[in-house]
Structure 1
């Protein structure tokens, strides 16, 4: 997933690596090329939201053939961003008029890696720095998009096909689902909430002790805009920094006297790493007993962000181990299963100290799948559709009720 913190800047190559990282790290091999994938494919946007607001759509990211950042218009034509400034300069208006309630519109998306934003009632505000595009960061109360109702999907379209996902890594907001129609006419979709699921997620957070209800941001007119991810809840002070300490301490205590076995690749069950805690460090060894990587005892930010002390480089050792650890911490399975990743979701989020945001989101998804934290794709629990030869993609703005 695309996970950019604070004032976020989309840099060339970041999104494609993030969107397909789960597939590549799980399988260990890249998807085969499909020369039949055209330069653009149709994206059908359907507005089932029930809202009367004008919808604005944006297709922002990186052109894969050149590595340039920019935006695509409704026809799929790429437009590179002009040079930015310091302070950031306003970006050109890249908005596309979206469909009215009950209507659909079709735009074309090029071979691109980035985000499809959509907003209700107001255009989003984008700016350009000398380093690239500054995207909305609504955990910052002064962000110009703070009071706009919006959300986004992430995708990569290349010669190997389409990867398209819904995401709640940064926030849970305006509901939507994504889908793909294959060349044979069959379709698959994901990201749709259960009936009443939108309000159920919010009510679960409100009812969870420990400050989880503070993640919800509301506009002055009473409109609920979003629930921030717990990572941003830490940054804003909505959640206490100690929110995961008890679970982390129990994990560290357990594996001071026993071994955590990580099997990071589903297609390579013979590759295993063994973790034992010594002081504030968990050392992982390979089958020969050699230490291959070590992790400092994480804090809540490291857990929720899958970064810092749980950093996951795009390699074949530390990254896959870290991804597995991060998933185990967020799903609170590390104490109940010393063999990770856990194969089934039945035991996820059962500890009283867990990622209650991810728990609430997954519980209300019609298929149980979501990207509620960065490495929610460990074990294939993510809301992702992929096809090597797509004929059409879809993004449906779903009902808030």
Structure 2
């Protein structure tokens, strides 16, 4: 049975920044109460597009949906077993067209886009069951769809595409601020979707991650953690590399400098047995991590769980990013290196490598903490006027992706936590 999804108010780092700002300064709303988000269809596909704007009212904590005019409605209680949610889809644009929806302030959530079929959502007494297409029993597993994540509040809009769970529908995100400047990211190179798919198929042991429908349509490439969860990928794939990287610090010191704007904050780590212990500048032990499993690395959880604090969490996210990028054990100051240094190991996250490699600007959310060293496909504006999601070509070239009155979403991947 699928688990319920909780919608959190924002990415931890964003939330912390916003709350700090509000505590110091009087709250001052910027941007319109209803932010126009324009979805542009340059996909080259003929199927009908269905849109959903789902999320949490940050003020009340209630889960609900937004209609095209920007009205938020809380979900009615569901049942156990889960009962079908009402159809709250918004008609999306045809090929070459646009659809604009209004996003109300104080919402954090997702914008889903499906081709052909509408998505099936379900309600429990205390939450919304969202699609989990990596599970074959999920009623959405045969549908071509994807989502972007956003938060819109008095600190502005955050909007991102996400490949944390899967790589499916190519799309770019954008936001336009009060000064007229438009920021855009998440756009695949021409032929990039096919390149990711063929790259994964050509990587020994990874081809099971590619999910193809009976009509030949490649629906998605599963992230390695999701593929492993359903038996489509080696559940212990990273274990040899994790042991090698962890053991490297029995004989040398790892330095973690988790804050780019505070280089004076440093922690040093050494491994004893299976435990890596970290001390601060005074020599006081501040954190300990047991050697993580492959699953812990894929999920950045368990032994690498990152609490929302200023010490353990920042060290954990740094370690997790370094293990995904196969730089731990090789680069002894972390975060370390740049994009050219990532994914160089034979055992590495080839999924994230290929997705980043095929992005126009190299940015993507290939795993949960891909924002370490700002590698994520996120746009933010503190005073937005509009935002956009552009569905781009599945193969080869497509018409230039116009940023049409850009509808704004702010959505870091970790807005959502599966329990």
The verdict on a shared fold, with TM-score over 0.5 as the criterion, is yes
- The CA distance in 1 between the partners of 2:307 and 2:201, in whole Å, is 35
- The CA distance in 1 between the partners of 2:242 and 2:98, in whole Å, is 47
Instruction: Please say if 1:43 is aligned against 2:37.
Output: yes
- In the TM superposition, residue 240 of structure 1 has moved relative to its aligned partner by 1.2
- The CA distance in 1 between the partners of 2:245 and 2:15, in whole Å, is 28
Specify the alignment match of 2:233 in structure 1: 239
**When the two structures are superposed, what TM-score results if normalisation uses the length of structure 1?**
0.94
**Alpha-carbon spacing, 1:139–1:245, altered in 2? closer, same or farther (3 Å):** same
Give the 3-state SS of the residue equivalent to 2:10 in structure 1. helix
**What are the within-5 Å matches in structure 2 for residues 146-295 of structure 1?**
146-209=141-204, 211-295=205-289
- The CA distance in 2 between the partners of 1:34 and 1:303, in whole Å, is 39
Give 5+ residue unaligned stretches, structure 1: 1-5
Would you say the 8 A contact 2:158–2:381 is kept in 1? yes
Would you say the 8 A contact 1:137–1:143 is kept in 2? yes
Q: Deviations over 1:239-278 (max 9, x none)?
A: 1122111211111221111111101111111111111111
Would you say the 8 A contact 2:18–2:155 is kept in 1? no
Would you say the 8 A contact 1:26–1:264 is kept in 2? no
Specify the alignment match of 1:140 in structure 2: 135
Which shows bigger deviation, 333-342 or 354-363?
A: 333-342
- The CA distance in 2 between the partners of 1:229 and 1:25, in whole Å, is 28
**Alpha-carbon spacing, 1:188–1:96, altered in 2? closer, same or farther (3 Å):** same
| Aligned partner of 1:17 among 10, 24, 31 | 10
- In the TM superposition, residue 28 of structure 1 has moved relative to its aligned partner by 11
Would you say the 8 A contact 1:57–1:95 is kept in 2? yes
Specify the alignment match of 1:372 in structure 2: 366
Would you say the 8 A contact 1:169–1:374 is kept in 2? yes
- The CA distance in 2 between the partners of 1:377 and 1:28, in whole Å, is 19
Give the 3-state SS of the residue equivalent to 1:164 in structure 2. strand
- In the TM superposition, residue 7 of structure 1 has moved relative to its aligned partner by 2.8
RMSD: 1.6
Specify the alignment match of 1:128 in structure 2: 123
- In the TM superposition, residue 343 of structure 1 has moved relative to its aligned partner by 4.3
Instruction: Please say if 1:107 is aligned against 2:121.
Output: no
Specify the alignment match of 1:321 in structure 2: 315
Give the 3-state SS of the residue equivalent to 1:252 in structure 2. helix
- In the TM superposition, residue 29 of structure 1 has moved relative to its aligned partner by 5.3
| Aligned partner of 2:300 among 296, 302, 306 | 306
Would you say the 8 A contact 1:26–1:267 is kept in 2? no
Specify the alignment match of 1:118 in structure 2: 113
Would you say the 8 A contact 1:34–1:389 is kept in 2? no
Q: Deviations over 1:126-184 (max 9, x none)?
A: 00112300001112101000000000000000000000000000000011010001111
- The CA distance in 1 between the partners of 2:218 and 2:348, in whole Å, is 24
- The CA distance in 2 between the partners of 1:325 and 1:178, in whole Å, is 28
- In the TM superposition, residue 25 of structure 1 has moved relative to its aligned partner by 6.8
Would you say the 8 A contact 1:25–1:316 is kept in 2? no
| Aligned partner of 1:386 among 360, 380, 384 | 380
- The CA distance in 2 between the partners of 1:132 and 1:342, in whole Å, is 40
Query: Which has the bigger relative contact order, CA under 8 A and spacing at least 6?
Result: 2
- The CA distance in 2 between the partners of 1:181 and 1:24, in whole Å, is 21
**When the two structures are superposed, what TM-score results if normalisation uses the length of structure 2?**
0.90
- The CA distance in 2 between the partners of 1:11 and 1:177, in whole Å, is 25
Give 5+ residue unaligned stretches, structure 2: 396-419
**Alpha-carbon spacing, 1:27–1:90, altered in 2? closer, same or farther (3 Å):** closer
Give the 3-state SS of the residue equivalent to 2:52 in structure 1. strand
Specify the alignment match of 1:83 in structure 2: 77
| Aligned partner of 2:92 among 84, 87, 98 | 98
- The CA distance in 1 between the partners of 2:13 and 2:225, in whole Å, is 20
Q: Deviations over 1:57-102 (max 9, x none)?
A: 0000001232210000000001110001100011111100000001
Would you say the 8 A contact 2:269–2:276 is kept in 1? yes
Runs (4 or more) in structure 1 with deviation over 2 Å come to 6-12, 21-34
- In the TM superposition, residue 233 of structure 1 has moved relative to its aligned partner by 1.4
- The CA distance in 1 between the partners of 2:17 and 2:347, in whole Å, is 27
